[in-house]
Chain A
Amino acid sequence: MAEAPFPTPETSSAGSALLDLERVPTVIVEDIHLIYRIAGRRARSNAPAALFGMLKRGQPPGMREVHAVRGVSFTAYRGEAIGLIGPNGSGKSTLLRGIAGLMAPQSGVIYTSGQPSLLGVGAAMMNDMSGERNVVLGCLAMGMTPEQVKEVYDDIVDFAGIGEFISLPMNTYSSGMGARLRFAIAAAKTHEILLIDEALATGDAEFRRKSEKRIHDLRDQAGTVFLVSHGLGVIRETCNRAIWLEKGKIVADGEANAVVDAYQDRHDPDARVLEATAVPLVLDEASSI
């Protein structure tokens, strides 16, 4: 596995604590607990049953709480690309939303330098509007001026590479096209901290290559990238550090390949053998470009 020429957390911090201070932290997460509420989702068979349930319980109807992240702490530094891995429901996406400031922690605190940007598949923008309008509105919402939007507009459309679909409403897009456009919009701005939630999973090989290159660029510009992905190969390729979450808690945090290896040993020892044969294929794809 070709390791990116970036120092891993271990090698750069192996020295004294003083050395550590020269690395610039971008995200500090300290013992956070994230709980999200689901409103009005508890479907009842009929209206009287719903009313009766409300009276009996004496609580707001249909409010449920999910304790998704339970006491997570870590510090991320400039130039790191951190992969978050874990089974479904382990709190990866919730943790990203917490870092993005889109969800207030129940306890604990998250510090960030600058405003992190979250990019996710679920986060649709304005579905009934055309791709063109979404590009303009997305850029303006990120705080660009109309002149700046004009400057980056063509780059965004080129990067997304969805052709004439750009003038059609986003609800006519395939999930892959939607993801491409969203990534292109978010990547138009240099982010100090970029959070990517499965957004690359739906793209094709060519788009994946482009976006992985963009992630490397962002790291080079001294940014920090967080990446949630179930594709462990992507984590190995693009990240130099990985955090393994399980039921809202950190199981392991360290050099990407080591953490991914341990994760696979625990969850799917067979897959590791399979992936070992698949690795040369992935490398081929990357080097043939």
Chain B
Amino acid sequence: MTDVRAVAAPELSAAELASRFGMARAGARPALLPYARDLWGRRHFVLAFARAYNAVGYSSSFLGQFWQVLTPLLNAGVYFLVFGVILHTRRGVSNYIGFLVIGIFVFHYTQNSILTGSRAITANIGLTRALHFPRATLPVATTVIALQQLLVSLVVLLPIILITGERPSPRWLLVVPAVTLQTIFCLGCSFVLARIGARIPDTAQILPFLLRTWLYLSGIFYSIKNLTQSLHGEWLRRLLEINPGAVYVELVRDALLAKHSTYVFEWPVAVAWATVMFLGGFVFFWQAEEEYGRG
């Protein structure tokens, strides 16, 4: 039996041979900028993935994609019944229905992108193991899917707030920058949770509890301003107000509800959260690029 190892030019080390022929280490993590460029190159994949996912997600039900509209409507109905009719949380909020429905739809987007982001790698482990591509495409794809659902919800939202007495105004256009900032924030969250979820399988069990706690702290069913004025000091209100769960919701309410008043630093806080989460999350995810799909 001839041993081919012995034949491979003994005077050259593997590293020298590799550099002579311009070879790269297998599975090496690319530098941050080439990685980002590679990710941009897969944008068609992200869009096709999101489209296919939406088509398949409801394919086993009779109503099909109509559920995309029905689910947010039913959600709003349930919360209105509990908090608006039974508990009478509406005190101090003009147009409580609009207030509540915007809160639920917008917060649900953050919640949804975090939840699906945490499963981005694990749910697509087959694809991860079969093909080589920048893994960050997966959390981006799950966020795009969540964004599509938000956009459907916003279409449902328009007639609701018109019925509740709001009048169209140029101010409504502020929804676009608000949702854009929120999407950047959600991408960052998705990156962070995707890495954690890939490493710790139990994330999927813990996350729903954390997200529900966050939901109750973010002023979705009640006005943070009214509640904290009566109960606690200024500092608690400030803390609840800079919480990103509340910030993006407040921005959209501000844009769509004529009588909604909010505090001044909302936009800078929204930009800060988006920037910090996105950049931090992207680097955090990229650092473990070689680990995904392993084992």
Contacts and interface: CB of A to CB of B under 8 A. Distances in A.
Interface in A135-169: 136-138, 140-143, 145-146, 169
Interface stretch (A200-208, A209-217, A251-259, A272-280): A251-259
Contact of B290 (A104, A113, A124, A128): A104
Interface string A111-126: 1110111111011111
Given A137-B45, A137-B52, A28 B23 contact: yes
B126 A127 contact: yes
Nearest to A60: B200
Contacts of A104: 27, 290-291, 294
A38 interface: yes
Contact of B14 (A28, A252, A253): A28
A143 B4 contact: no
Contacts, number: 164
Interface in A53-71: none
A40 interface: yes
Given A127-B126, A262-B1, A140 B44 contact: yes
A237 interface: no
Nearest to A32: B26
Nearest to B292: A102
B142 to A, nearest CB: 14
A120 B130 contact: yes
Interface string B124-142: 1011111111000100000
Interface of B: 1-5, 7-11, 14-15, 17-18, 21-28, 41-42, 44-45, 48-49, 52, 56, 124, 126-133, 137, 201, 290-291, 293-295
21 contacts: A9-B4, A13-B4, A20-B8, A25-B17, A25-B21, A28-B14, A28-B18, A30-B14, A37-B295, A74-B8, A99-B26, A104-B291, A111-B17, A113-B22, A118-B132, A123-B129, A138-B130, A140-B44, A252-B1, A253-B2, A254-B4
Given A75-B4, A142-B133, A253-B1, 9 more contacts: A20-B7, A30-B14, A40-B201, A100-B132, A113-B21, A116-B132, A143-B133, A146-B44, A262-B1
